Amino acid sequence: MRIHVRQALTSRLFILDNMEELNPLQYPIGKFSAPEIITPELRAEWIGIISDLPGQLADLLANVDESLLEKPYREGGWSARKVIHHLYDSHINSYIRFKMALTEDNPTIKPYDENTWAEMPDGNEAPFQWSIEGIKYIHLRWVYLMKTMQESDWSKTYFHPERGITYRLDRVLGIYAWHCVHHLKHIQAVVVGR
């Protein structure tokens, strides 16, 4: 079973805020905070995490008893099935936002309510394999896109109207690399225990 998530590198790939104040079940690797300088080497590591996620999910969930996926990763948290479907929903939105930022001048992105999406039948009841396949192919496209980006593309931005924040693509990359590890740890806690 390949569940490494670049574990040896995690501590240097992310700046993690307030670890001692966080619920370790909710934030198993802490909250992400962007480093002051994002180097090409760090971006390559983050792209590698995004590239690795589909295979790691497939390995982790091979031959899993599906009834186990109805279990939440923590009290009050989503079921493992919802987390898997959320990864697909979230990452397809991020891929689209990347493309918008690369083709428009600081576009305003369309937020979505992840909790409401998670409660919809396709995010709550559908076979988890559908989202695993979706993640596989969206990540292939997303990684390919990121590997073809020019250095200047990483400073392109989009505006998140609910948060009132303009995000640079290099920071977004870090957020989603963290997001991969964060939720893989949630699923791992359900499937193989804490």
Q: Among 14-18, 68-72, 80-84, which is the least confidently predicted range?
A: 14-18
pLDDT at residue 13, rounded to an integer: 58
Q: Residue 22: pLDDT above 60?
A: yes
Judge whether 133 lies within some domain.
yes
pLDDT at residue 20, rounded to an integer: 60
CB proximity list for 3: less than 8 A, separation 6 or greater: 56, 59, 60, 184, 188, 192
Q: Residue 3: pLDDT above 80?
A: no
Tally of structural domains, the chain: 1
CB 85 within 8 A of CB 126: yes
Residues 39, 37: Cα–Cα separation, whole Å: 6
Query: What is the residue range of 21's domain?
Result: 7-191
Residues 44, 72: Cα–Cα separation, whole Å: 32
Mean pLDDT, all residues of the chain: 90
CATH number at residue 49: 1.20.120.450
pLDDT at residue 7, rounded to an integer: 45
Reported as a single tens digit per residue, the pLDDT across 141-168 is 999 999 999 999 999 999 999 999 999 9
CB proximity list for 79: less than 8 A, separation 6 or greater: 69, 70, 71, 72, 73, 190
pLDDT at residue 194, rounded to an integer: 57
Percent of the chain at pLDDT > 70 equals 89
pLDDT at residue 18, rounded to an integer: 55
Judge whether 2 lies within some domain.
no
Reported as a single tens digit per residue, the pLDDT across 178-190 is 999 999 999 999 9
- pLDDT category at 5 given cuts 50, 70, 90 is very low
Helix (H, G, I), strand (E, B) or coil at 33: strand
Judge whether 104 lies within some domain.
yes
Judge whether 1 lies within some domain.
no
